[in-house]
Chains A and B, each alone.
Chain A
Amino acid sequence: MNKLFKNNSEVNKFSPVKLSSHHLLAIEGMQKSEIQKLLDRADFFANLDKHADTKYLSGYVVLNVFFENSTRTRVSFELAARRLGAEVINISLINSSIKKGESLLDTASTLNAMKPDLLIVRHPHSGAPLLFAEYLSCSIINAGDGRHEHPTQALLDALTIKRRIGYLEGLKISICGDISNSRVARSNIHLLTTMGAEVRCVAPSTLMPSKLEKLGIKCFNDMKEGIKDADVVMLLRLQNERMSGTENPSEREYFKFFGLDETKLSMASPNAVIMHPGPMNRGVEIASALADDTNRSLIKTQVEMGVAVRMSIIEALNHSKNKT
C-alpha cells in the first residue's frame, strides 16, 4: 500500500480524513474535530515535495463545473485533483447551456449521467450546490455559491494562519471589507468561531449584513477600533458586481476609512499578519506596499495552501463515500 495512505487512525497525518458527509457544502454545521483533521492532513500535504507520489486516486473523475468566472480557485482544485492522480475535466458554464435555456437540474443530470466521482461547483446563486447534492449521486464540493459560503477558502485561510502562528484558538481575527457580499467572510466566521478564535467584522454599515452579530462575532464600523490588537487582519475584495451603486460613495473614500494602511495597521498587534482571498484591488482594500510586505502579508501563502487543503478535502470525500 502507498505509504501516504495508511489506514492507521492513530497516525492522523498519514491517513485520509473520514467526514460525516461525502459532500463539502458549507462550513456551518461542521464539527471542530473534522475541521481539525482536514487541516492536519492538509498540513501534511503542504510539507510534501511537490513531486512526491500522491497519485492514488487514479480513475477518480472530477468535474470542475464553474458557472462563474474563476482563475485561482479553478486552477487550485485542478492541481489538487491531478496531484492525487484523479482525472479532471473543466467545464465553464458561464454562458453556454444557461443561455440555451436549459434548467440547472437538467444540466446537473446530464453531468451526472457521465458518472463523475466528484463535482466541484461554483455558482452565482446562494444554495445552488445544495440543489446539486440533492439530485446528484456523486460527491459535491461547494467552490463558492453566491453570497453564502466558500468552505475551501476558509479551510485554506485557517491552514495559512496555523502554519504561521501555530494555533487558532484565542486568536483575535478581524475580517474587514465587503462582508455583505462575501461568501468568504461567512465561511471564515463559521470556521474561526468553531475553532475558538475571537472574530470581529469591520465594514461600512452599508456592507454589514443584518444581525451579523448573531453568528457569534463582534461588528465594527470603525476600522481602527475593529482591528485593535488583532493577530490577523483579513481583507475582502469590494464586490462591485454585486452592488447597486448605493453602498459606497467612491473607492478613494473607501480606502480612506476601510483600506488597510500603515496607520490603521499600527492599531493591530505588532506581529499581526495580513490576508486577502484575492483578487485584490491595490489602493482600495490595501495599500500596495503592505500587500507586498512578505514579513506581514500571507497572501501568497494562502494561494499555496489552497492546493494542499483541496487535496485533503478531495481525498476525504472519496474516503467518506467509500466507507459509508
Chain B
Amino acid sequence: MTHTIFKSIKLINPATNFNQKVNVEIHNETIINISKDLNLEKFNKDNQTIIYDCEGLTMSPGIFDIRVNIGKTENLKFTQIIAAESGITSMAILPNQTPKLNNPSIIDHIKRQSEDINLPKIMVCGAATKDLNGLEICEIGLMSEMGAIGFTNGNKSIKNSLVMRRLMSYATMINRPIIQHAEDEDLSGLNQASTTSIKGEMNEGEISTRLGLIGIPACAEVIMIERDIRLAKLTGARYHVAHVSTRDSVNVIREAKKSGLSITCDTAPPYFSLNESKLLTYNTAFKLSPPLRSEDDRLAIIEGIQDGTIDAIASDHRARSKDTKAQPFSAASVGASGIETLFSLTLDLVHKKIIDIDKAISFLTINPAKIFGIDCPSLEEEKVADFIVFDENEPHTIKQENLKTSPTPFEGKKINGKILATYINGQVAFMNQIFKNKIIK
C-alpha cells in the first residue's frame, strides 16, 4: 500500500483546463484527493504516508510521445527506462524496426514484452504496407484488434496514390489514422532506385550549394501532403502528417483543417528550434529526416504551433550509434536522439513566450491522445495516477555526456525546466535526488 501527498503543487490538467496550486493525495494507483486545504496533522502520526513539499513545483499528466524509433542499438526496455526519466508515460513506436511491426502477432508480442506496469506504456503504429514496401496493404484490421493505434510506413512515404487511397478507405472502417512521413521520394532522390550519388542529403538552398551536398527541395514535403489531403477528402479518412517541417506544409494543413477534414499533424523540437545553418560544419548530428529547413520555415512551424495548426510535439527519437555518425556527411546515418530532450525543448517555447505552459503541456499529453482517439490523460479524483512532477525553471545545459542516447542536435544548449519525478499507475517510475530531498516525512 502506498499513500503519498504532494503538498502545495501547481497542478496543470489540460483536460479540465485546470491550473492551480493544490495538494494532491494518491493512494495506490489512484488519485483520491485534490484540494486547496490540507490538514497535515492527520497524517503526522501515520507512518504509512509520504509527504513531499512541492512548493514551486508543477504536476501534469505524463507525456505521450507519438513518434519513437526503436533503433538497432536500443531495446524496448532500455527505451522505456530513459522515457520514464524524461517524463514520458506512454509512447508510440514505429513499425520500421527489426523485425518489422507488420502483423498482429508481433504487435501482441510487443504488448506482452512491454507489459511492465511500472514503465511507460508502449503503443504500436503498425506497418501500413507489407515490408513497408508501399505496394500491398497489411492486415490493419487484425493489427488494430491487437491494439495498433495507427498505421504508417515509418520513415518512408506511402508513395503510390492507389495504395494510399485504399489504405485510407480501409482505415475508415476501423477508425484509425494513417500517419504519413510526407516526402516525394523521387524528388528528394531518396527512392530506392536512386544511386548513392544523387541521394538528397539536406535542405536545398544556399547552404547545400556552398557545402556541395545534394539538396532536398522544401516542396518535396508539401507535394505529398497536398495529394494526401485530396485522398483524405475522397475517402473521409483520418490523416496525420508526421514531423512537419516547412512553411508550405503548415499553410496547406491550416487550410485543410478549415475545410473540416479530419487532418492532424505533429512536429519535433529540431524543426522549431534549429535551421539548416547548423550544417555548415558538416556536423552529422544535424542530419535528419526531414532535413533542417530554412529560418523562414522554422518561424512558420512556430506560427503553426501558436495558432494550433500543429496539434502535437513528438520527440521523433531516432538514436544512432557514434560509429554511424562519425562518417562523412553523405555516408552518415540519418536521425538523432529526442526522447531525453523533448520536455525541456517544448518548455523552451514557454520560456520564449511563444505559448503558455498549459498549451505546452497539451501538445505533449491530451493532443496526441486526441490524434489517435485514445483516452485523454486527466488528473482528477478517482483517476489513475500517471503524472510527472517538474521544475519549470531549473536551469541546465544539454550535454551529450549526460545523455544515454546519441547524438543530440542540442549539444551545449542552455535550457530551463527539468523532470523531477515520473509516476506510472501511482508508482515511482523515476525520481531524481532533488525531488527525493523534498520529502517532509
Q: Which residues of A contact B (CB under 8 A)?
A: 28, 103-105, 123-128, 130-131, 145-149, 183, 186, 209-212, 214-215, 241-244
> Residue-by-residue, is B407-430 near A (CB-CB < 8 Å gives 1, otherwise 0)?
000000000000000000000000
CB distance from A215 to the nearest CB of B (A): 7
From A103, A128, A183, A211, B205 is in contact (CB under 8 Å) with A211
The answer to whether B326 and A146 have CB atoms under 8 Å apart is: no
The answer to whether A127 and B215 have CB atoms under 8 Å apart is: no
Closest partner residue, chain B, to A185 (CB atom): B212
Closest partner residue, chain B, to A179 (CB atom): B209
Contacts of A125 in B (CB 8 A): 328-331
The 4 closest A-B pairs by CB, nearest first: A147-B212, A148-B212, A125-B328, A127-B282
A186 to B206, CA, bound (A): 12
Say yes or no for B162: interface residue by CB 8 A criterion: no
List 18 other contacts, CB 8 Å, given A209-B215, A214-B206: A104-B327, A105-B327, A123-B328, A125-B329, A125-B330, A127-B212, A128-B328, A130-B282, A146-B212, A147-B214, A148-B211, A149-B212, A186-B210, A210-B204, A210-B206, A211-B205, A214-B209, A215-B210
Say yes or no for B375: interface residue by CB 8 A criterion: no
Contacts of B217 in A (CB 8 A): 210
| A-B residue pairs in contact (CB < 8 Å), sample of 12 | A104-B331, A123-B328, A125-B331, A127-B211, A128-B328, A131-B328, A146-B212, A146-B330, A147-B214, A210-B206, A241-B197, A243-B197
Say yes or no for B189: interface residue by CB 8 A criterion: yes
Say yes or no for B195: interface residue by CB 8 A criterion: yes
Contacts of A123 in B (CB 8 A): 328
Contacts of B215 in A (CB 8 A): 209-210
The answer to whether B331 and A211 have CB atoms under 8 Å apart is: no
The answer to whether B213 and A242 have CB atoms under 8 Å apart is: no
CB distance from A224 to the nearest CB of B (A): 25
Contacts of B282 in A (CB 8 A): 126-127, 130-131
A215 to B209, CA, bound (A): 9
A243 to B217, CA, bound (A): 17
Contacts of B330 in A (CB 8 A): 124-127, 146
Interface residues of B in 180-235 (CB under 8 A from A): 189, 194-195, 197-198, 204-206, 208-215, 217
The answer to whether B323 and A103 have CB atoms under 8 Å apart is: yes
From A105, A131, A183, A211, B212 is in contact (CB under 8 Å) with A183
Contacts of B98 in A (CB 8 A): none
CB distance from B66 to the nearest CB of A (A): 33
A125 to B332, CA, bound (A): 10
From B194, B195, B212, B328, A104 is in contact (CB under 8 Å) with B328
The answer to whether B197 and A126 have CB atoms under 8 Å apart is: no
From A130, A183, A210, B208 is in contact (CB under 8 Å) with A210
CB distance from B277 to the nearest CB of A (A): 13
The answer to whether B326 and A105 have CB atoms under 8 Å apart is: yes
From B195, B204, B213, B281, A147 is in contact (CB under 8 Å) with B213
A52 to B292, CA, bound (A): 54
Contacts of A211 in B (CB 8 A): 205-206, 209
Contacts of B329 in A (CB 8 A): 125-127
The answer to whether B206 and A145 have CB atoms under 8 Å apart is: no
Give the A-B contact count at a CB cut-off of 8 A.
80
CB distance from B390 to the nearest CB of A (A): 37
A242 to B217, CA, bound (A): 18
Contacts of A104 in B (CB 8 A): 327-328, 331
CB distance from B205 to the nearest CB of A (A): 5
CB distance from A16 to the nearest CB of B (A): 29
A127 to B283, CA, bound (A): 10
Contacts of B209 in A (CB 8 A): 209-212, 214-215
A147 to B213, CA, bound (A): 7
Contacts A186-B210, A210-B204 known; A244 to B189 CB distance under 8 Å? yes
CB distance from B9 to the nearest CB of A (A): 47
Contacts of A147 in B (CB 8 A): 212-214
CB distance from B258 to the nearest CB of A (A): 32
A316 to B205, CA, bound (A): 34
CB distance from B321 to the nearest CB of A (A): 11
Contacts of A103 in B (CB 8 A): 323, 326-327
Closest partner residue, chain B, to A130 (CB atom): B282
A211 to B206, CA, bound (A): 5
Closest partner residue, chain B, to A182 (CB atom): B212
A288 to B10, CA, bound (A): 81
Contacts of B194 in A (CB 8 A): 244
Closest partner residue, chain B, to A128 (CB atom): B328
The answer to whether B205 and A127 have CB atoms under 8 Å apart is: no
Closest partner residue, chain A, to B215 (CB atom): A210
A130 to B280, CA, bound (A): 11
> Residue-by-residue, is B11-33 near A (CB-CB < 8 Å gives 1, otherwise 0)?
00000000000000000000000
Closest partner residue, chain A, to B196 (CB atom): A124
A104 to B284, CA, bound (A): 14
Contacts of A105 in B (CB 8 A): 326-327
The answer to whether B210 and A130 have CB atoms under 8 Å apart is: no
The answer to whether B195 and A244 have CB atoms under 8 Å apart is: yes
Contacts of B213 in A (CB 8 A): 126-127, 146-148
Closest partner residue, chain A, to B322 (CB atom): A105
A103 to B206, CA, bound (A): 30
A209 to B189, CA, bound (A): 15
A189 to B198, CA, bound (A): 23
CB distance from B179 to the nearest CB of A (A): 29
CB distance from A107 to the nearest CB of B (A): 11
Closest partner residue, chain B, to A212 (CB atom): B209
Contacts of A145 in B (CB 8 A): 212
A104 to B331, CA, bound (A): 10
A11 to B329, CA, bound (A): 43
Contacts of A148 in B (CB 8 A): 211-213
CB distance from A66 to the nearest CB of B (A): 15
